[in-house]
Amino acid sequence: MSIVDERDLRQQLDGVLDAIMPPDAPVRAAARKGKLIQAGRSLGVVAGLAVVAGIGVGIPGLLNQPAREVSHARPMVMVEQSCGTGVREIIGSPAPVAGRTGPSSAAQAARGRPASELAAGGCAWLKP
Amino acid sequence: MDSRSEAEFAEFMHGRWPALVRLGYGLTGDERLAEDLARAALAKAYASWPRVLRAGDPDVYLRRIILNASLGKVRRRRVRERRPGDEPEPETAQLARVDDDRPALVTALMRLPVGQRSVVLLRYWMDMTEAQVAAVLGCSVGSVRSQASRALASLRVGEDVAEEVLL
């Protein structure tokens, strides 16, 4: 094989490729396969629409779900405080306070209360 | 598709079939694979025939399908051939038969990257202009020009290497 220039390459390509004698065009087979491709595409479109419809129905349903019930009872603050005698008294309720049901610390509970109230009698009962 | 379009498509297919198979052969170096490619391209054209006609140039559409499909086939075949434990590919020079220019040219074409091979076939076998080749391949005219030049250089060098090995 020797390729001199573009013209030579053209001639050689013509010689090689024009020598290929393909059989008769498979029109029916191609048409059959083409119809299958069309059917596949239609199926894909239908499936896509179904997914879109599913999302259209599902997402608003999820968004419009009723909110979780929140306790409107007045929260009772849990206080743990030493009363000097070594006895620890705990009062409280399981009602959720700011989304938590655990006991609040005394410092948190006492926040905003006058110091005199806390100091009086050694023990301070923080009213709900 | 109505009967008129069917007839139109059949006529189109009869007219383009040989050229498509030859283009496929030039791209893959395998006649059977070339027929598969041409058949698949025509099936795709059938599936979107009204759109293909609306686009204006069905030939560009078909060539693009064949080029893209051959790229995919070449990639898949390369992956299969490179499986661990397989025998390595025989040297190209051993495959080339000096007494017959056909396999030698096809073998030389197969050694080119698919992009360069496509440019060679479209530009020098189908006599398309650089702009037309660029439109089919979806690249710039400058890229077509550089790929053609590199392909020609490779074909010349490849020929020298093959001769040295055989001597």
More confident residue, A39 or A125: A39
B105–A25: do the CB atoms touch at under 8 Å? no
The mean pLDDT value for A56-75 works out to: 74
Contact B9, B1 (CB under 8 A): yes
What distance in Å separates the CA atoms of residue A126 and residue A119, rounded to the nearest whole number? Answer: 12
Q: Which band of pLDDT confidence, cut at 50, 70 and 90, is reported for residue A64? A: confident
**Confidence at residue B95, expressed as pLDDT on a 0 to 100 scale:** 39
Q: pLDDT per residue over B73-110, tens digit each?
A: 666 665 665 555 544 444 333 334 444 445 688 888 98
Which of helix, strand or coil describes residue A100? Answer: strand
Q: pLDDT per residue over A88-111, tens digit each?
A: 555 555 555 555 555 545 455 555
Lowest mean pLDDT among A41-50, A111-120, B34-43: A111-120
**Confidence at residue B138, expressed as pLDDT on a 0 to 100 scale:** 87
How much of chain A, in percent, has pLDDT values that exceed 90?
11
Q: Collect all residues from A whose CB is shorter than 8 A from any CB in B.
A: 1-3, 6, 9-10, 12-27, 29-31, 33-38, 41
- Residue A13 is inside which H or E element, if any? helix A6-18
Rounded to two decimals, the pTM is 0.62
Residue numbers of chain B with a pLDDT score lower than 50: 86-101, 165-167
B17–A1: do the CB atoms touch at under 8 Å? no
Q: Spell out the residues 6+ positions from residue A32 whose beta carbon is closer than 8 angstroms to its own.
A: none
A34–B101: do the CB atoms touch at under 8 Å? no
**Confidence at residue B159, expressed as pLDDT on a 0 to 100 scale:** 56
CB-based contacts of A69-75 (< 8 A; 24+ apart in sequence): A70/A96, A71/A95, A71/A96, A74/A128, A75/A128
Tell me the β-bridge partners of A82: A88
**Confidence at residue B146, expressed as pLDDT on a 0 to 100 scale:** 95
Q: pLDDT per residue over A67-80, tens digit each?
A: 666 666 666 666 66
Average pLDDT across chain A, whole number: 71
Q: How far is CA B127 from CA A44, B31, B120, in A?
A: 39, 22, 10
**Confidence at residue A29, expressed as pLDDT on a 0 to 100 scale:** 87
Among candidates B13, B38, B124 on the partner chain, residue whose Cβ is nearest the Cβ of A10: B124
A44: chain B residues, CB-CB within 8 Å? none
A22–B106: do the CB atoms touch at under 8 Å? no
Closest to B151 in 3D by CA, of B104, B113, B102, B103: B113
**Confidence at residue B82, expressed as pLDDT on a 0 to 100 scale:** 55
Closest CA of chain B from A52, distance in Å: 24
Q: Spell out the residues 6+ positions from residue B56 whose beta carbon is closer than 8 angstroms to its own.
A: none
Closest CA of chain A from B84, distance in Å: 33
**Confidence at residue A65, expressed as pLDDT on a 0 to 100 scale:** 75
B151: chain A residues, CB-CB within 8 Å? none
What distance in Å separates the CA atoms of residue B74 and residue B35, rounded to the nearest whole number? Answer: 15
Residue B47 burial (10 A CB sphere; 0-12, 13-18, 19+): buried
Which of helix, strand or coil describes residue B99? Answer: coil
**Confidence at residue A70, expressed as pLDDT on a 0 to 100 scale:** 62
HSE-CB at A47 with a 13 A cutoff on CA atoms is 6
How many residues are listed for chain B in this entry?
A: 167
Closest to B108 in 3D by CA, of B157, B164, B166, B71: B157
What distance in Å separates the CA atoms of residue B70 and residue B79, rounded to the nearest whole number? Answer: 14
Q: pLDDT per residue over A1-23, tens digit each?
A: 567 788 888 988 998 898 888 88
B31 touching A, CB under 8 A? yes
